[in-house]
Amino acid sequence: MQNRTWILAADGNTARIVKGVNLLKEERQRPEEETFHTEPKRVQDIMADKPGRSHSSVGHGRSAMEYKSDPVREEQQRFVADVAGRLESYAANHAFDSLVICAAPRTLGDLRKQLSAHVRERTVAEIDRNCVAATTEQLIATARAAVFP
């Protein structure tokens, strides 16, 4: 594990990649970071129109239709797919040798579905905890504890 270890911290709206971390020893140099962010949206912001009404099959009544999906969740899944695509691009360019993923449980599940085999084979640890707000030092310590228990 040279300086080509990256740490990804992600939730449904934010992702941080800490690049060039050496998990074997403490370093004074601050690693490079890259952050991706999408504005968190509420259902009211995404679905401004009401879902509509339908006629009952029996009688003269009408009732409101329900949404078929959770639009906020779909936005989060699109964001995770974008992050996974960026990681694949970096992996294809051999930018990192190993990856540690710290993600909120739901986001980690989404990432597992979206990550390519190329990225998954470089993943050395997965931590199901939201570490996006953690300091860089805390994030590195968490990754080090997961890789070297």
Q: What is the pLDDT of residue 1?
A: 43
> The domain containing residue 132 runs over which residues?
5-44+69-147
Q: What is the pLDDT of residue 148?
A: 87
Averaged pLDDT, groups of 10, the chain, 149 residues long:
82 94 80 88 54 57 60 86 96 95 96 95 96 94 91
Q: Is residue 122 part of a domain?
A: yes
pTM: 0.80
Q: What is the pLDDT of residue 25?
A: 80
Q: What is the pLDDT of residue 105?
A: 95
Q: Is residue 50 part of a domain?
A: no
139: domain CATH number is 3.30.420.60
Q: What is the pLDDT of residue 139?
A: 95
What is the DSSP secondary-structure string of 45-71?
Answer: HH--S---EEE-SSSS-EEEPPPSS-H
Q: What is the pLDDT of residue 50?
A: 56
Q: What is the pLDDT of residue 39?
A: 77
- CA pair distance 118, 67, nearest whole angstrom: 36
Q: Is residue 80 part of a domain?
A: yes
- CA pair distance 118, 96, nearest whole angstrom: 11
Q: Is residue 49 part of a domain?
A: no
- CA pair distance 4, 97, nearest whole angstrom: 5
Q: Is residue 27 part of a domain?
A: yes
- CA pair distance 30, 7, nearest whole angstrom: 14
Q: Is residue 55 part of a domain?
A: no
Residues in CB range of 40: below 8 A, 6 or more apart: 12, 13
Q: Is residue 19 part of a domain?
A: yes
Q: Is residue 54 part of a domain?
A: no
The domain total for the chain is 1
